[in-house]
C-alpha cells in the first residue's frame, strides 16, 4: 500500500487579506441589501388592513404559507436579481486584470521582457501585477548581465584564438631553424 495515497492534503485557507476583505464586503453588502428589500416588501404587504379581507380570507387561506407565498416569492426574486447583478459585475473587477496579466505572461513565455503590466489604480490585483513586474525586471537585469558576461567571454576567446594563431606562427618560425 502506498503511504502517500492515504495522506490527505491540507486545505489551504491562506487568502490575501485585502482581497478577502474586499470580496467579503461586497458579498455582505449584497446579502444585506437583498434582505432589506425583502423586509420592505414584507412590511408593505403586512401593513394592509385585514378587517374587510379577513372575513373573505378565511375561505381561501387555509395555511399561513398561502398568505406568505407572495411575500416569499417577491423576496426571492429581489435576492435573485441582486445576486445576478453581483455575478455579472463583480467578476469584471477581477477578470479584466486577470486578462491583462495572462496576456503579459503569454508575452513572457515568448521571451519578451520589455513591457510591464499596467493596471488601473483601483484594480484588486495591483500587488500581483507589481510582483510580476518586479520579477520581470529582475530577469531582465540578470539576462543583461549574462549577455555582458557572454560578450566578455567571446572577446577573451577571440584573443585566445589570436594568441593561439600567434603561437602557431612562432612555432613555425622556430621550427624553420635547425639547431
* pLDDT tens digits, one per residue of 123-175: 888 888 999 999 999 989 998 998 999 999 889 888 888 888 888 888 888 77
pLDDT for residue 41: 73
CA angle 6, 9, 15 (to 5 degrees): 175
Cα–Cα distance for residue pair 139/57, rounded to 1 Å: 77
Quick count: other Cβ atoms within 10 Å of Cβ 94? Answer: 15
Residue 3 lies in a domain: no
Domain count, the chain: 1
Residue 41 inside a domain? The answer is yes
Residue 145 belongs to a domain: no
Q: Which domain holds residue 80?
A: 16-46+57-139
Segment 55-110, tens digit of pLDDT: 555 555 555 556 667 777 777 777 788 777 777 777 767 777 888 888 898 988 88
Residue 125's φ and ψ, nearest 5 degrees, are -100, 25
49 compared with 91, residue with greater pLDDT:
91
CB < 8 Å & 24+ apart, contacts of 77-81:
78/34, 78/37, 78/38, 78/41, 79/34, 79/35, 79/37, 79/38
Q: What is the pLDDT of residues 2-42, one digit of tens each?
A: 555 566 555 555 556 776 777 778 778 877 787 777 777 77
CA pair distance 134, 103, nearest whole angstrom: 17
pLDDT at residue 49, as a whole number: 56
The counts of H helices and E strands in the chain are 5, 0
Amino acid at each position: 500500500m502506498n503511504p502517500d495515497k492515504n495522506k490527505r492534503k491540507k486545505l489551504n485557507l491562506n487568502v490575501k487579506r485585502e482581497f478577502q476583505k474586499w470580496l467579503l464586503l461586497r458579498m455582505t453588502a449584497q446579502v444585506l441589501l437583498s434582505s432589506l428589500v425583502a423586509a420592505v416588501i414584507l412590511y408593505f404587504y403586512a401593513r394592509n388592513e385585514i378587517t374587510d379581507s379577513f372575513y373573505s380570507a378565511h375561505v381561501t387561506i387555509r395555511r399561513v404559507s398561502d398568505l406568505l407565498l407572495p411575500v416569499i416569492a417577491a423576496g426571492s426574486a429581489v435576492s435573485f436579481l441582486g445576486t445576478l447583478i453581483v455575478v455579472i459585475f463583480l467578476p469584471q473587477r477581477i477578470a479584466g486584470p486577470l486578462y491583462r496579466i495572462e496576456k503579459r505572461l503569454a508575452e513572457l513565455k515568448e521571451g519578451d521582457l520589455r513591457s510591464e503590466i499596467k493596471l488601473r489604480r483601483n484594480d484588486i490585483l495591483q500587488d500581483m501585477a507589481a510582483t510580476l513586474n518586479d520579477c520581470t525586471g529582475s530577469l531582465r537585469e540578470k539576462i543583461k548581465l549574462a549577455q555582458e558576461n557572454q560578450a566578455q567571454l567571446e572577446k577573451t576567446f577571440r584573443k585566445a584564438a589570436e594568441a593561439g594563431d600567434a603561437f602557431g606562427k612562432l612555432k613555425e618560425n622556430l621550427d624553420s631553424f635547425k639547431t
